[in-house]
Amino acid sequence: MAKINTIAELKKLREDLQGAAQANAGKPLVNVSLATCSVASGGRDVMAAMKEETAALGLDVEFVQSGCMTFCFAEPTVVVTLPGKDPVTFGYLDAEKAKTLVQKYIKDGELVDGVIPVGYERIVL
């Protein structure tokens, strides 16, 4: 990432990021934790399985990866945000459970096992 030296550059970056966010509006968003504990628990396999399943089903899904989401006890974890709905965190995943998550929750909105209750509220600036 380039260093930001002026207010104009900062505003341009903000506009670019907002434009990218609007381009992805309406798509399901899958945030896969790929911190050390998740990678050690198979997080990369989960992400690959989910990408493979969304492609097989022809779903348009935005994937991002993040660091620690503080759910180390339940890794690998993913946070799925369906359009117009609150994010839902799923844990204890493996490749097969990840495919089921895509088939049932992302495609049809049907909850599956492994939901992790969260005690925070997300604030979007």
CB 115 within 8 A of CB 89: yes
Domain ranges in the chain?
25-105
d(CA 23, CA 31): 17
pLDDT value, residue 69 = 86
Enter the CATH code of domain 25-105. Answer: 3.40.30.10
The count of C-alpha atoms lying within 13 angstroms of the C-alpha of 50, restricted to the half-sphere facing its C-beta, is 33
pLDDT value, residue 122 = 64
Q: Give the dihedral sign, CA 90/96/101/102.
A: positive
Whether the model clears a pTM of 0.85, i.e. scores above it, the answer is: no
88 or 118: which leads in pLDDT: 88
d(CA 40, CA 53): 22
pLDDT value, residue 118 = 75
pLDDT at 116 over 90: no
pLDDT band at 113 (very low <50, low <70, confident <90, very high): confident
Q: Which of 49, 76, 51 is nearest to 64 (CA)?
A: 51
% of the chain exceeding 90 in pLDDT: 64
